[in-house]
Structure 1
Amino acid sequence: MVDLPILGGVSPEEIERIAQTVGTPTVAGASLTTRFFRRVSALVATRAGRGESGQFTVFLQSEALFEDAKCCSVAEAPLLANGADPVVDRIWLSTASLSTSFELLLRWSDAASLFQAVKKAGLGGIPAVVVDWRTGVPQGRLYRSGLSNHEDSETVFFEDVPITRMQMKEVLDTFYERSLRTPALVIEGHAKRVWKESANGIPEHRPEEVIQGRLLEALKAVFARHDLRAEPITDDGRADIVISMKTITSGGLPAVVNEWVLELKALADQTNTGNPVPPSVAVQAIQSGLEQAIGYKTRLNALQAALCCYDMRATDFGDDSAFAHIQDDAKHHDVPLWRWFLFRSTAASRTARGYLSSASR
């Protein structure tokens, strides 16, 4: 058995102190698919910086690489990750680390035939990144469940530029729609649950932490050029999610810019044991969340901060009602207030979308 207290000459206590002070790496805890997306993003940024241009690139992530490579003629590319070789107008099949890769020698001429070629090769169901180089600045989309599922896609950002408020909101909306809106989405892919008994409105213990973990995973893939940390310590406590980017000062020195602070709140009207929670608790949680967002933004010298509320209560009261008591303070400190309602059933979600006219209900 390994003697942990002397492992590498570093005690577990010292490791814990370092982790609390420095923070864990962005990819810590990330899935293989998210790691793949981040490595592809770094490769694309490198090639774009060297002036590469063309039509499209497809990167496919395989966990059965040599078996999948039998789908067609291939050319091995063992040094793809180095960024020294062109990647445009090619289809790449690789492991999550990009350490072993193949170019798939498939015939295609445009976007439609490109997608069709991948699907005909039997690879339409594995994670993919599609890069569009035609505008001069590479644009990317993630297909977590493969090119055969066009609807399950989202934008990925390759540029080393600040994340706009609109971009952040769109990404958070997408995360909600694909991961939290209904109980069926919440448990998809054996993910940790936020509901203990959705039909009865009973949440799991500390659902906020579950949402935080799943959101971090989503953000790490989409904002692949940024660093993300959960709960870094400040004098005011722990910020839920901080998004930062490495840069260079005017004097040529390395620096880190904290772009975003996201403060998360899960609002429930029951405890995980089914006991009722007074309405005043949610009101106070929202106010506390705004105070924390403002405090962390100031302490971390962040460019932007947002309060993100995930509403698990029985009734959707609407944003105006939920945020009425903090609207003025939020506006004064320029902190957007965002809220998403978690439905307790798929049927309730469909009704809220208003697919049927009121007369036919």
Structure 2
Amino acid sequence: MAELPDGRLDRMIDNGRTPAEGRLWLVGPPVNVGRSWSIIDLDENAVFDFVIDTAGLGSEPAVLYDPKLEPAELRYYPEGLLQAENCEVAAVEIRQVDLNAVLGVVDQVHKKILAAPGAPESLGGLWSNPDRFQPVERAELTVQAHLKTALSVPFPDCSVRTEQIDIPGRLDIEIVGPDLLNEHRIISYVVLELKILRSYRSGDRVTAVSPSETVTWVGDGVDQAYSYRLARGSLESALCCFDMRKTFSGRTCFDHVADKAASLDVRLEVWHLFASAKAYREHQVSEALRRT
């Protein structure tokens, strides 16, 4: 990163009350502290020049918000502003948040960024040793960072909060925002509990994770998603598993908790993360042949 003058430091930007427009923000996971610089006097091209040349952040994932358009617009650059042609555009429409919409964003992040190591990884890679199927030690935080960035695009009126400590423990992602029926009320819409399923632990030694440990992790995830929803007064909750094990097993990881999750109204979703682009391609071919 280039040398920048000291910017404004805000230590509670996840509270939804920190003015954000007209500034370049530099944040990291969890996004509750950030430093920013004024860009209010710059036009669109000058903003790109400032981020790429002055700040040296052209390869970092970026979100641009333009309130001058009607409707206002958000542009998400998963590979950074240097790759301006790789951009997702969303109109800013004030709308209620629901779990289906949130999980749709997670699904897109998986397809475009997380599914295989060939995807952009400027927020951090997920594999310490893909040949040995070893994830990085804190892979959950990397996934969480990607999701927080992506979820800010379709829900700009909401605050995407992470790593919050409550009585039941530390929750992964919570989405809160205004109630469209009562502008003076803030609602906790969705709580997401994230779990990484592993065949092997990270580290120099290749240590296997037993099937019983995975069963316990998934069971704990259901309990956490339910308890956090109650503690935060959220409308909906889901357990989101990212399966980095050697063998693609689909939803079978939920067989032992499906009934309990249904009783507790906890949604269960799983995405497989492949250790190589070759394995990802082979899976796609296998799925296509299976459907024919």
Tell me the TM-score normalised to structure 1 length: 0.59
**How far, CA to CA, are the matches of 2:42 and 2:141 in structure 1?**
36
**How far, CA to CA, are the matches of 2:97 and 2:150 in structure 1?**
15
Counterpart check, 1:25 vs 2:13:
yes
Larger Rg: 1
- Contact 2:95 2:180 survives alignment (8 Å): no
Aligned to 1:265: 195
Spell out the pairing of 1:268-283 with structure 2 (5 A cutoff).
268-273=198-203, 274-283=206-215
- Contact 2:74 2:92 survives alignment (8 Å): no
Give, in angstroms, the shift of residue 209 of structure 1.
1.8
Q: Which moved more, 1:305-314 or 1:164-173?
A: 164-173
Aligned to 1:328: 259
* SS, match of residue 222 in structure 1: coil
Aligned to 1:217: 149
Give, in angstroms, the shift of residue 140 of structure 1.
4.7
Aligned to 2:234: 302
Residue identity opposite 2:241 in structure 1: C
Give, in angstroms, the shift of residue 157 of structure 1.
5.8
Residue identity opposite 2:223 in structure 1: E
Give, in angstroms, the shift of residue 249 of structure 1.
7.7
Spell out the pairing of 1:184-195 with structure 2 (5 A cutoff).
184-185=118-119, 188-189=121-122, 191-195=123-127
**How far, CA to CA, are the matches of 1:281 and 1:164 in structure 2?**
32
* SS, match of residue 276 in structure 1: coil
**How far, CA to CA, are the matches of 2:230 and 2:192 in structure 1?**
13
* SS, match of residue 275 in structure 1: coil
**How far, CA to CA, are the matches of 2:135 and 2:14 in structure 1?**
28
The structure-2 alpha-carbon separation of the partners of 1:279 and 1:157, relative to structure 1 and needing over 3 Å to count, comes to farther
- The structure that is strand-richer by fraction is 2
* SS, match of residue 142 in structure 1: strand
Q: Deviations over 1:181-220 (max 9, x none)?
A: 111226x33x322210112101111211222122222222
- Contact 2:116 2:274 survives alignment (8 Å): yes
Aligned to 1:353: 284
The structure-2 alpha-carbon separation of the partners of 1:355 and 1:314, relative to structure 1 and needing over 3 Å to count, comes to closer
Residue identity opposite 2:103 in structure 1: K
Spell out the pairing of 1:90-101 with structure 2 (5 A cutoff).
98-101=39-42
- The structure that is helix-richer by fraction is 1
- Contact 2:72 2:91 survives alignment (8 Å): yes
The structure-2 alpha-carbon separation of the partners of 1:261 and 1:292, relative to structure 1 and needing over 3 Å to count, comes to same
The structure-2 alpha-carbon separation of the partners of 1:307 and 1:100, relative to structure 1 and needing over 3 Å to count, comes to same
Q: Which moved more, 1:223-232 or 1:138-147?
A: 138-147
**How far, CA to CA, are the matches of 1:243 and 1:269 in structure 2?**
31
**How far, CA to CA, are the matches of 2:104 and 2:222 in structure 1?**
21
**How far, CA to CA, are the matches of 1:324 and 1:174 in structure 2?**
25
* SS, match of residue 352 in structure 1: helix
Give, in angstroms, the shift of residue 292 of structure 1.
0.2
Counterpart check, 1:166 vs 2:100:
yes
- Contact 1:26 1:229 survives alignment (8 Å): yes
Residue identity opposite 1:173 in structure 2: D
Q: What is the aligned-residue identity percentage?
A: 27
- Contact 1:310 1:342 survives alignment (8 Å): yes
Aligned to 1:16: none
Taking only aligned residues, the RMSD between alpha carbons, in angstroms, comes to 3.8
The structure-2 alpha-carbon separation of the partners of 1:297 and 1:225, relative to structure 1 and needing over 3 Å to count, comes to same
The structure-2 alpha-carbon separation of the partners of 1:98 and 1:318, relative to structure 1 and needing over 3 Å to count, comes to same
